[in-house]
Structure 1
Amino acid sequence: MPKSLVILGPTASGKTRLAVHVARRLNGEIISVDSRQVYRGMDIGTGKDLDEYRVDNQTIPYHLINIVDAGSDYNLYQYQQDFNHIFPQIRARGHVPILCGGTGLYLEAVLKGHRYTAIPINEELRAKLKTRTDDELLERFQQVPSAYAVLADTSTRKRLIRAIEIAMYLTQNPKIDLSGPVSLPDMVVFGIDLPVEVRRQRISDRLHQRLQNGLIDEVQRLLESGIPAEKLIFYGLEYKFITHYLHGELDYATLSVRLETAIHQFAKRQMTFFRKLERDGLRIHWLDGRLPIHHLVDRITADLQEIPQTLHS
């Protein structure tokens, strides 16, 4: 049996439910790998689905969810530090750490342990970059060649700004060596794959259900709690578009269409990033996400008996 494993997949693929059932079978604990589920009060929009962590009348332990207040700053480096704190504790209890999530950059950071997360934040630079359009930001990033270019995740505005920040730091500090071998944890990685049409239907169904069942009220409460609109917009996707809607900048029909399109694009970028991890040498054992949950759990536990306990193929 592996010391730890990963279950990744795009949004709405059912990875949390699968991870919980696998944890029940293997005596595991879940470590969320999601850049937004760390925030308290951001529940529906981030898909926490905390009820899913209870199976067979047993609550499966989970970590790195609801650890900071919404509106506060939390970055990849902090996540890496929190992960490095909780991961050995789970192992010390004799349990199996099960990483579950779809934030590619966070997954890469903990799997590969790259040191770019330690590069400091440049608030002055960020203030200037926030006035640029997404296309201008991407052009700026492409104009600053660095060793980080091949690793950078530019899938969201937030990550693109951070990528520019890192690239510029490396350019200004050329003697800093953040490359070299890293210690890879002993993990087996599974990914949930779905045909595009199935994935799109699941995303659309889930979004419309959430819009009708409290998602807009959640964003309204966050605004009323004093969180600046620009901060929620910075969090992206649901929080960005619904904030615009609540400020009268979008009507409901436009909100629904634009948000649905943005989430479809996000899921596509997630899969692109996972494939990039594969090209970089990460072995991902793909599962058919259309299969019943018990079949997937059986498949994982059976495969674990035969898969070498190694991150790379």
Structure 2
Amino acid sequence: MTPTPSQPERPALRCVVVTGPTASGKTRIAVALARTFNGEIVSADSRQVYRGLDIGTGKDLDEYVAGGAPVPYHLINIVGLDEDYSLYRYKQDATAALRGVAAAGRQPILCGGSPLYVNALLADYRLEGGGENPDLRARLAPLSDSDLDERLRRQAPDLHARTDTTQRRRVIRGLEIAASRTRHTPPGEAMPPLRLDTLILAPYYPRAVMHERIRTRLEARLRQGLIEEVQRLHDSGVPWERLDFLGLEYRWVARHLKGELSRDEMTERLLAAIRRFCKGQDAWFRKMEREGRAIHWLPEGDLRLATERVGRFLRGQPLPPPSLRLCDTLYGPRSQ
């Protein structure tokens, strides 16, 4: 990460962060906290920015209005599927949204499970911009995920270190930025530094429980019309290649609709892919803890504990250390 250039320092912006693995109930917690503490939610989800990706990304917009006053939210449904939304653009938009919420006298609550997006704000990444490079993307398309990963590692070790290499599209974006460096493309406009004073909360469930929650949620999404959603997107002009690029639900359902997989095969492969994605999220959270980020894990999504911690944080009272550190937790036969 390149240090941010020296600029007049703004006061740190106090922000509650609700993150954690997929299917852990982050939105429920964030909405409840927003209602209690006069908050607005800024999304940190790399796919919920797109219009039309509703069931597959779990936007759950009904949660923002059910059971009380509607909770304002930001960075959901802001771009079309014909656009590519980069980490650079997200950091610009999220910075503006967080500052706007605070300036309105409300409490910013960052909510989402895209660890790279979350960490870009917490660590105030200085990012390079630049648009898509269609020619380069066409040349990269035939390469395997491992070939792309190795190419990025070779060409730009610094970008590789801060890229979520479990997501093909992130690796391709990293290679685009690396190529723009070699072409001496003028860097994007520098972003103003963002200093956050944060409390990080995350629901915690044992691995076996998380696996079952993922299965239950996938079954519910299929009942709600996930397959039909993907078919509608394709019928409206979204190419199969674009759906594949969006990953997870959209990739595997598209392969089913193209006749490459039966429904049962699609379901099992998608389930395995989501569980691998969850494991990748775990790796990010462990890394954040090893780098000194205190994540307050909430056993079984304990809302009472979350409310108590946020109250203390906003009153400026000292917080107890997290009772659990994921980086110290073992899974598998040695786990208790």
Give the TM-score taking structure 2 as reference length.
0.83
1:125 aligned residue: 136
Q: Distance in 2 between matches of 1:201 and 1:299?
A: 28
Aligned equivalents of 2:87, 2:156: Cα separation in 1: 21
From 248, 251, 274, the counterpart of 1:240: 251
Superposed CA offset, 1:167-192 (max 9, x none)? 4445665998x9xx954222222222
| Counterpart residue type for residue 283 of structure 2 | T
Structure with more relative contact order (C-alpha pairs < 8 Å, separation 6 or more): 1
Output aligned runs, 1:74-93, within 5 Å: 74-93=85-104
TM-score, with structure 1 as normaliser: 0.89
Distance 1:117 1:35 in 2: 18
Q: 3-state SS of the aligned residue for 1:131?
A: coil
Task: For structure 2, list consecutive stretches of 5 or more residues without a partner in the other structure.
Answer: 1-12, 320-336
**Structure 1 segment 244-259 matched on structure 2, within 5 A:** 244-259=255-270
Structure 1 residue 304: deviation in Å? 4.8
Contact 1:219 1:243 in 2 (8 A): yes
- The residue type equivalent to 1:222 in the other structure is L
Q: Is residue 301 of structure 1 aligned with residue 311 of structure 2?
A: yes
Distance 1:175-1:150 versus aligned 2 partners, 3 A rule: farther
Q: Deviations over 1:261-298 (max 9, x none)?
A: 0000001101111221222332322221x154344333
Closer, same or farther: CA 86–300 of 1 in aligned 2, 3 Å: closer
Q: Secondary structure at the match of 2:251?
A: helix
User: What is the aligned partner in structure 1 of residue 123 from structure 2?
Assistant: 112
1:62-108 Cα shifts (integer Å, max 9, x gaps): 11101112343222222122212222211111000000001111112
Structure 1 contact 71–232 (Cα < 8 Å) conserved? no
Whole-angstrom CA distance in 1 between matches of 2:194 and 2:91: 14
Distance 2:234 2:185 in 1: 42
Question: Aligned letter for 1:257?
Answer: E
Query: Which deviates further from its counterpart, 53-62 or 295-304?
Result: 295-304
User: For 1:178-226, what per-residue CA distance to the aligned partner results, in whole angstroms no more than 9, with x for missing partners?
Assistant: 9xx9542222222222211111110010001111221111111111111
Output the CA distance in 1 between the equivalents of 2:282 and 2:241. Answer: 28
How many residues end up aligned between the 2 structures?
304
Tell me the SS of whatever aligns to 1:212.
helix
Equivalent in the alignment of 2:323? none
Could you tell me how far apart the structure 2 residues matched to 1:54 and 1:298 are?
23
Unpaired runs of 5+ residues, structure 1, are: 309-313
